[in-house]
Chains A and B, each alone.
Chain A
Amino acid sequence: MNKRIFLDPLFKNNPIPVLALGICSALAVTVKLEPAMVMALSVTLVTGFSSMILSLLRNTIPNRIRIIVQLVVVATLVILVDQVLKAFAWEISKQLSVFVGLIITNCIIMGRIEAFALYNKPFPSLVDGLANGLGYGIILIAVSVVRELLGSGTLMGYQVIPQQWYVANGGVYENNGLFILPPMALIILGLIVWVFNAKNAKRV
């Protein structure tokens, strides 16, 4: 049971390509791998713990005000993440700028709370939240690997494409500047969706 809750969101029901949730705050941070990984980690933690906390509270929240309660819990967790990032990873926190705050409005979090945490026990909710966060993280990391490798020739800031291949050093290779620009993230994501749908072959 728990294993299925964990594995489903990673591949079969991945929140981004299959359900089209949580694209909002995702793509602007995928120019480089490092901020994308930090973002993926933050979203995973926030999704997991907000699901768990709201699942603990699920029998005490009146239905009418549940959206406000959810927003408050999520916003509190995001403030924690933001303060921790500011304290221990100032450089990355500067690069992510407003996108840490935008985790609050990430549709994955609200979606999982509404669809799962309000009807399930705390532990499965935690697993479900973490797994959905990870599913989101996988897509984020895949997009950013492609963009950083083709756009700057590096991964995590280390040079991957050998220096002597470049035109400047007498080679034939040139970085593709198009991949640094925001629209390429959407096009890569479109291709990922294509692969996912072709593999699942259930959506037409």
Chain B
Amino acid sequence: MEQIANIFVKSIFVENMIFAYFLGMCSYLAVSKTVKTASGLGLAVIFVLLITLPVNYLLDRYVLAPGALAWINPQWAGTDLSFLSFILFIAVIAAMVQLVEMVVEKFAPALYNSLGIFLPLIAVNCAILGASLFMQERDYRNIQEVITFALGSGIGWYLAIVSIAAIREKLSYSNIPAPMRGLGIAFIITGLMGIAFMSFMGIQI
């Protein structure tokens, strides 16, 4: 239990997808102009992470990792399919995003219209694939830990995109040097927010 709480806090604050690893920056910069759409995209990311990470974890555990195939036939204990993990992870993610897109289009047309082109872009959102690869690299022990990690990084991403959207809404009233407007100032604010988030570094439960 302690371990799970620790992973949760760590993945939201200390190892925040955006401030510590810059994952998912493309959609983060493109969709953060108003709080409403930003929060929609953030929720979509949390949702997709919660679906894809456990699936990829099971795939890694029972098919891809070195010796993972031993449960089918002990003779295959020596096989190592881990070189296939990129291609299979991205396939799972693309399929899941397609599914989410269809569900959202059917049951929440308003949200679908406001997210527009960015929903398919979640498939190539680095935060999703990045979380899967981190999950593979860090060797989480069981599926509860993986789900906690998925929820935590999703919430961390959500916090980041909603807070920058709120700041950018206010920024449209301020007097910024012309070449800095838009992209430049968004980078610098993200950097400053990242420095603020660094104060969580080293927190353990």
B86 surroundings in chain A (CB, below 8 A) = 75, 78-79, 82, 101, 104
Residue-wise interface mask of B (173-185) relative to A, using a CB-CB cutoff of 8 A (1 in contact, 0 not): 0000111111111
Contact A197 B179 (CB under 8 A): yes
User: CA of A23 to CA of B26 in the docked complex: distance in angstroms?
Assistant: 6
Provide the main secondary structure of the chain B interface.
Answer: helix
How many of chain A's residues have a CB under 8 angstroms from any CB in B?
46
Residue B20 is within 8 A (CB to CB) of chain A in the complex? yes
Interface centre among B180, B185, B188 (most CB of A within 10 A): B188
Contact A194 B195 (CB under 8 A): no
- Counting chain B residues whose Cβ lies within 8 A of the other chain, the interface size class is 35 or more
A57 surroundings in chain B (CB, below 8 A) = none
Contact B191 A71 (CB under 8 A): no
Q: Which 9 A-B pairs have the closest CB atoms?
A: A183-B194, A190-B187, A186-B191, A24-B126, A197-B179, A98-B133, A190-B188, A187-B191, A193-B184
Task: Given contacts A20-B30, A183-B195, list 20 more A-B pairs with CB under 8 A.
Answer: A24-B126, A25-B130, A28-B21, A67-B120, A71-B123, A72-B91, A75-B87, A82-B83, A101-B89, A105-B130, A107-B26, A182-B21, A183-B19, A186-B188, A190-B188, A193-B179, A193-B187, A194-B184, A197-B180, A198-B179
- List 21 A-B pairs, Cβ < 8 Å: A24-B126, A25-B126, A27-B22, A28-B22, A72-B87, A75-B86, A78-B86, A97-B137, A101-B89, A102-B133, A104-B124, A105-B124, A107-B26, A181-B198, A182-B20, A182-B21, A193-B187, A197-B179, A197-B184, A201-B179, A203-B181
